[in-house]
Structure 1
């Protein structure tokens, strides 16, 4: 176990520790009974008695065999910056019937300089009934850490474990993308989910704020709304696109895309299945490629995946190739993901062979749409060509289990063992 000591303003450690990521994590993020007990301890003259508490859980989540420990960094940040403001103390006094002013003076002097925390390393695999943290210090102060510590560890460990389980099912070679911000339980749920899914084995997030806060790689393309917002290729005003090496320019990229679509429709690779594609979709893809020629990844299921989305994507990808760019790939957000990914890969490989386009068949296929570990496992058993999974709701809400159930128990007081 690692031993961590943090004094107020970092005096003991020789450095200042940043505060918690969420500014709402203050000493008032507590259950009322922590303050009533602190007051009762103080009244009895017991507030400084040396106590030891263990934080642990009783059962692995999701019916599994392990848990990933997470949330320690935020606990240390909270500990290092623990200090009640005058405004907070006034609120506590008003919330405790008959609270004496001398207790408020006691609260003003509180910090965590006498607290010791022994902890398992964050990100470790842990098991039931083994202490994740052991907290030692004055009993009244340690009680004031209970609810914040449980709050910071319970969800963090639960969602990190959920992420690790998805990683195990998907395998090491697949990209896992966390797409859960819009379905998370509020802003803090979204930020925490992104952080701890990354810790649990995900590769990137769609959450821009989490990317800024934690340096997590960002991934994202466009929505169905972007595709359906276009009506025709005539809406594209600026049609010019410079080549990837900057040495030349295509004055009419739209015409190049149309030429590429005709080439694909007439190729033997299409087997005659591509006839008239949706031109509003083609306009959307073309516009997006003009904006992001080096990072073109298209959502291809707004209309018909195989008859419109895939050929329209290939036309734009082929036009980009003419200018030295390589399209990234596609995203599938509905339908039979195993079948569609397999058929898309076959077509990409066929076009690569016929038109001699290096690595065209290796473009990334991303799948999304309410995925969870069971659906990923089913896809693996069925066989698919998906390279990346975008997972949101079931991941960040931990739909299969609402809480981990960590507890905070007194195990020693004044060198005397205690157990409930």
Structure 2
């Protein structure tokens, strides 16, 4: 069993753990805690459910994230001596016994049921169910909402961008400098990867979570060079690793030197500056900015295996791309890959198409077929809508670098999760509202996902948990009546081929998760679910809603309680 220990090498390490204390809460949680205690009901057995009412980004799904951080929080949830001293200053009239009670509170008295992290989820389906003493289960509300809301929003945003970009494109998270503070930046990097991105520019996230990093250079690097004389280190060693590996495989290992020894002894150094200039002359490329060419040359010497040139400092097509081509062809002639250009301004679709045309044109002129493999990276305030527009223009971008609109969730700043009491001492609780969408579903519930014969999700159905913690699960191959939560006429039968239970107990005074999933493992899980969904539910314009239904038993239970709790008005003349 996992012990939830806090270790940076652990894929679940929480970057904001020092902030996750019982005081990461709203004042009214503490005042309610005192009032519960003062009223003698603080130890009543309660059940709360955390869910959202409406999907983000005008879509019809979300990607649940933040569970691992929830478990970290519960593992160390307790009030320190300094917390108690501060609590005495903000509730000064409280009895000494109350502070003794608070000092003894920790996470061992709680039980938490949850979806698996990375699960595609829908309105009204509980993301978490928290059971325990009323006062303690209430105390964790704000922290859990904070821990779940932003991660779920970022993971959903990333999944949507992955979907519109397509599985073959590489997505890079570039948002640290635009994020809401260090914690926002770290959280966004992690949950963007979970949602479907490939790499991040955030070095600390790479170190702590083992994420793949990606980075090139800024305009400042290009502007730091004026001419080729500024390139002080002119030499580049040829890459003959492939040739040596090929010849070694057909020779006796006892008579051949090691690959490393062969490279160090046989690979010659070339004057890369002279090579670039000779290629430029051979290709007849004139009028480009020499400082830019020098910068690209210097960068290629430093990173010949990962050369990416930012080409819009002066003029993308008249200078940046031609200069890149000269350096790229030189790299290929030295045994390296051709690298990529990065477009950071202008008409990205047009520039990507023209760049690829120039790669093909000069590949013929230089007799360098490899140049056709050079990639185009695009950045510049890209969001989901931008990618869709680029798709319509038949862009030729291979890699998207997305920052601000990903990590700040430009399309929707908050998920709007809520945390509602659904049961107290075995008695159901319901919140009524004039807005039917804000009426809560009473009692503890467990969700099941019903799958069709081709293993696509048909709908989620909520089942009531009985007082003895048992529930009647739908069975594969058996007809299930599925009811709309509030509209009596909306109902259907489903005969599922497969039934998937979505909730499991992840905390019972200690962490019960046997496996900690890495960001990459969760990303694979998200991708699998996205691929299994019907396309009309994923589209960005007028997506088809996914059904969340109730069993007949829960439907009747809910409506009986609504009638019981709803005041009957008296009409007066």
* 1:262 Cα deviation from its structure 2 partner: 1.2
* 1:14 Cα deviation from its structure 2 partner: 6.5
* 1:334 Cα deviation from its structure 2 partner: 0.8
Match of 1:353, SS state, is: helix
Match of 1:41 in 2: 36
Q: How many residues align?
A: 400
* 1:251 Cα deviation from its structure 2 partner: 4.6
Match of 1:334, SS state, is: coil
- Contact 2:15 2:187 (C-alpha < 8 Å) held by counterparts: no
2-side partners of 1:20 and 1:337: how far apart? Answer: 37
* 1:393 Cα deviation from its structure 2 partner: 1.0
Is 2:101 the counterpart of 1:106? yes
Match of 1:386, SS state, is: coil
1-side partners of 2:287 and 2:152: how far apart? Answer: 51
1-side partners of 2:341 and 2:213: how far apart? Answer: 17
Structure 1, gaps ≥5 residues long: 1-12, 266-273
2-side partners of 1:250 and 1:313: how far apart? Answer: 21
- Contact 1:60 1:128 (C-alpha < 8 Å) held by counterparts: yes
2-side partners of 1:377 and 1:305: how far apart? Answer: 23
Once the two structures are superposed, what CA deviation does each residue of 1:233-288 show, in whole Å capped at 9, x if it has no partner? 111222122112332333522111111111222xxxxxxxx422100001111111
2-side partners of 1:374 and 1:212: how far apart? Answer: 32
Is 2:321 the counterpart of 1:305? no
Is 2:262 the counterpart of 1:283? no
- Contact 1:30 1:147 (C-alpha < 8 Å) held by counterparts: yes
Match of 1:302, SS state, is: coil
- Contact 2:42 2:135 (C-alpha < 8 Å) held by counterparts: yes
Is 2:248 the counterpart of 1:253? no
Match of 1:294 in 2: 305
Once the two structures are superposed, what CA deviation does each residue of 1:368-409 show, in whole Å capped at 9, x if it has no partner? 101111111111001111001111111111111111100000
Match of 1:237 in 2: 232
The residue correspondences of 1:68-87 to structure 2 (distance < 5 A) are: 68-87=63-82
Match of 2:415 in 1: 404
Once the two structures are superposed, what CA deviation does each residue of 1:77-120 show, in whole Å capped at 9, x if it has no partner? 10111122111121112111312222222122111112111111
Is 2:3 the counterpart of 1:15? yes
2-side partners of 1:42 and 1:14: how far apart? Answer: 33
Q: Structure 2 length normalisation: TM-score?
A: 0.68
Match of 1:186 among 172, 181, 187: 181
Match of 1:360 in 2: 371
The residue correspondences of 1:92-103 to structure 2 (distance < 5 A) are: 92-103=87-98
2-side partners of 1:346 and 1:200: how far apart? Answer: 33
Match of 1:372 among 356, 371, 383: 383
Is 2:183 the counterpart of 1:172? no
Match of 1:113, SS state, is: helix
2-side partners of 1:275 and 1:356: how far apart? Answer: 19
Match of 2:340 among 324, 329, 347: 329
Is 2:83 the counterpart of 1:64? no
Label 1:151 to 1:303 Cα distance change in 2 as closer, same or farther (>3 A). same
- Contact 1:275 1:307 (C-alpha < 8 Å) held by counterparts: no
* 1:299 Cα deviation from its structure 2 partner: 0.5
Match of 1:115 among 101, 110, 114: 110
2-side partners of 1:163 and 1:198: how far apart? Answer: 8
Once the two structures are superposed, what CA deviation does each residue of 1:151-186 show, in whole Å capped at 9, x if it has no partner? 011111111111111111111111111111111111
- Contact 2:332 2:370 (C-alpha < 8 Å) held by counterparts: no
- Contact 1:264 1:311 (C-alpha < 8 Å) held by counterparts: no
Q: Structure 1 length normalisation: TM-score?
A: 0.92
The residue correspondences of 1:379-394 to structure 2 (distance < 5 A) are: 379-394=390-405
- Contact 1:240 1:251 (C-alpha < 8 Å) held by counterparts: yes
* 1:55 Cα deviation from its structure 2 partner: 0.2
Is 2:208 the counterpart of 1:213? yes
- Contact 2:331 2:337 (C-alpha < 8 Å) held by counterparts: yes
Match of 1:152 among 147, 154, 157: 147
- Contact 2:283 2:365 (C-alpha < 8 Å) held by counterparts: no
- Contact 1:222 1:298 (C-alpha < 8 Å) held by counterparts: yes
* 1:16 Cα deviation from its structure 2 partner: 4.2
Is 2:195 the counterpart of 1:200? yes
Q: Which one has the largest radius of gyration?
A: 2
Structure 2, gaps ≥5 residues long: 7-12, 241-262, 432-573
Label 1:401 to 1:416 Cα distance change in 2 as closer, same or farther (>3 A). same
- Contact 2:15 2:183 (C-alpha < 8 Å) held by counterparts: no
Once the two structures are superposed, what CA deviation does each residue of 1:103-138 show, in whole Å capped at 9, x if it has no partner? 222122111112111111111111111111100001
2-side partners of 1:16 and 1:189: how far apart? Answer: 23
- Contact 2:53 2:124 (C-alpha < 8 Å) held by counterparts: yes
RMSD: 1.4
Match of 2:427 in 1: 416
1-side partners of 2:316 and 2:213: how far apart? Answer: 26
